[in-house]
Amino acid sequence: MLNFPVPYPDELVYSTVARAGVHAGLVSPKQLLDDVFDNRKVIATPDLPCHLKQISELYPHSLNLDVTNIIYKHTLFPLYAPFVPEDRRLQCLEWMAGQSKGAVHLALGAAASRVKQIRFLRHCPACMEQQLKQYGEYYWMRSWQVAGADVCPHHGPLQNSRIELHGRHRHQFFALSPDACAGKAVGPSSAEDFRVAERINELLSATPVKSPSFDQWGLFYKRLAGETDCAMGKKVLHDRVSEKVIARWTNQWLAKRSILPSTNSNSCWLKSIFRKHRKSFSYLEHIVVLEALLGSGWDFQSTFDDVSSLKPKSVVSCPVDISEEKPSTDIIDMRRSWEAFLKEYGVKKARLSGGAAIYAWLYRNDRAWLMKINGQYRRSSRSENNRVNWKKRDQDVLTKLKRIQQKVMGDLEGPRRSRNWYLGQLGSKATIEANFDKLPLTVKFFEKYCESVPDYQIRRIAIAIRFLEAECEPRRRWKILRLAGLSDERIRTEAELYLKEVR
């Protein structure tokens, strides 16, 4: 695409693409996708978009807008990058440069975060006025779209627009304009909101650096608990940590963002963050803890440097003694006893059925033989689910599918009768898709009766011809294609042959 606009400071890639459509005068969302990405299936994602390599290739090298710079300066990726391991950060950068199919949101924890994502794109009216004076147009700023940060740090509460993030028009990029502004404030602002907004701006202005590991984050928080009088020896005093968090942040503010700590639950996120890290925590959870324990005199850059400098203790594995000497009588007796348990129960159940002491003795004195014999008697712990009669289920599903097929057989109207369409009519799509290997009759039905893309195009052509005949209009090719919603690029060979025959 020629003359693709250069992003403004703190502008989302989503906004830049939308402005490109406005500058080019494109009304069709699909045409914009064709011109920018050469791909009509790209989803308009504001926070963590993909296909950014195509965007970077539209700029000259002198602008220094490579994929990494675009990701760190014009997406919300910097909010998540420091809190995931380095290999995951690099993988997400690769996905965002190309295609991820939703994997980026899962890998960064955005999809399953306690902090719920915003529903509508948001804006600041005062910032919009400044944008119009300085640049002559409006654009979506990324700091407006951060979940948990409901204020502009310069002007106050943000306002929701009319643009729904996960609405029906998921392939359309909406430009910011006064018509898109609903004028309804997100909510009343508080001191907590402004503190969070300042910390969010720190994260968004971060440069690409290597992410600390989970072990380093775990060590950092354990040390932090000790330095802030929230630990006794190696034990973290979770009640004292919770008291400091509640004293710094109001219950109402924490509850609104679904991060109010629960002192009764052992799996509370506030307790988990001071234990060994096995998953990443959200930027908002880190801000809440660091602000509560360190006050206002900390910053993210110093914290990241501190965390990265920590060195986790290396795990030293105990060597296995592989001796070729003749085993003693005690070892032989223990081997026989353990082998008898293995023959009767298998490895796991043998330890739970009276063999735990024998296992422990052999582990200390004859580990090489123990590991070898366990491998020979290992049994699968998976159990067969016999609660469902899959043969009967298969026949029932087939009966329903035949009824649906008979009902629509003579109807030319309607969407393509694909496998997904039939599953949607059944109402139990997930269950059937997960058990296709147990439903052979259902699979054969789909192979025989599902409508292919060429068949669907032929049906649409037939509908268009019938309409022209009813209106007494000639069967001109361009009219048929327009009524059928087809084009020369998308029409399949079979549909093209059918069109030549019926004209």
Q: Which of 319, 317, 335 is nearest to 327 (CA)?
A: 335
pLDDT of residue 444: 93
Which residue do the tokens 């393509």 mark? 416
Quick check: is 314 in a domain? no
pLDDT of residue 1: 65
Quick check: is 118 in a domain? yes
Quick check: is 195 in a domain? no
The helix (run of H) or strand (run of E) holding residue 229 is none
Assigned token pair, 393: 């289920």
pLDDT of residue 191: 86
Quick check: is 475 in a domain? yes
Q: 40 with 92, same domain?
A: yes
Task: Determine the Cα–Cα distance for residues 381 and 374; give it in Å rounded to an integer.
Answer: 14
pLDDT of residue 433: 86
- For residue 236, the cross-strand partners are 231
Q: 297 with 400, same domain?
A: no
Strands 159-164 and 181-185: antiparallel
pLDDT of residue 129: 93
Q: 219 with 265, same domain?
A: yes
Question: Of 376, 398, 415, at which residue does a domain stop?
Answer: 376
* Regions in the chain scoring below 50 on pLDDT: 315-320, 322
Q: Report the domain count for the chain.
A: 5
pLDDT of residue 317: 47
Q: 77 with 129, same domain?
A: yes
How many CA atoms lie less than 13 Å away from 3 in the CB half-sphere? 7
Q: 370 with 398, same domain?
A: no
Q: Which domain holds residue 352?
A: 329-376
pLDDT of residue 316: 46
Q: 238 with 169, same domain?
A: no
Q: 57 with 144, same domain?
A: yes
Quick check: is 153 in a domain? yes
> How confident is the model over 412-453, as pLDDT tens digits?
888 899 999 999 888 778 888 888 889 999 999 999 999 999
Q: 364 with 399, same domain?
A: no
Q: 298 with 439, same domain?
A: no
pLDDT of residue 170: 86
Quick check: is 320 in a domain? no
Q: 273 with 300, same domain?
A: yes
Quick check: is 319 in a domain? no
Q: 83 with 152, same domain?
A: yes
pLDDT of residue 349: 85
- For residue 184, the cross-strand partners are 160
Q: 32 with 144, same domain?
A: yes
3-state SS class at 164: strand
Q: How long, in residues, is the chain?
A: 503
Q: Which of 414, 398, 490 is nearest to 449 (CA)?
A: 398
Rounded to two decimals, the pTM is: 0.67
pLDDT of residue 503: 72
Per-residue DSSP letters for 104-132? Answer: HHHHTTSTT-SSPPPSEEEE-HHHHHHHH
Quick check: is 492 in a domain? yes
Query: Measured on CA atoms in the order 197, 162, 107, 251, is the torsion positive or negative?
Result: positive
- For residue 161, the cross-strand partners are 181
Question: Of 187, 222, 240, at which residue does a domain stop?
Answer: 187
Question: Of 148, 172, 187, at which residue does a domain stop?
Answer: 187
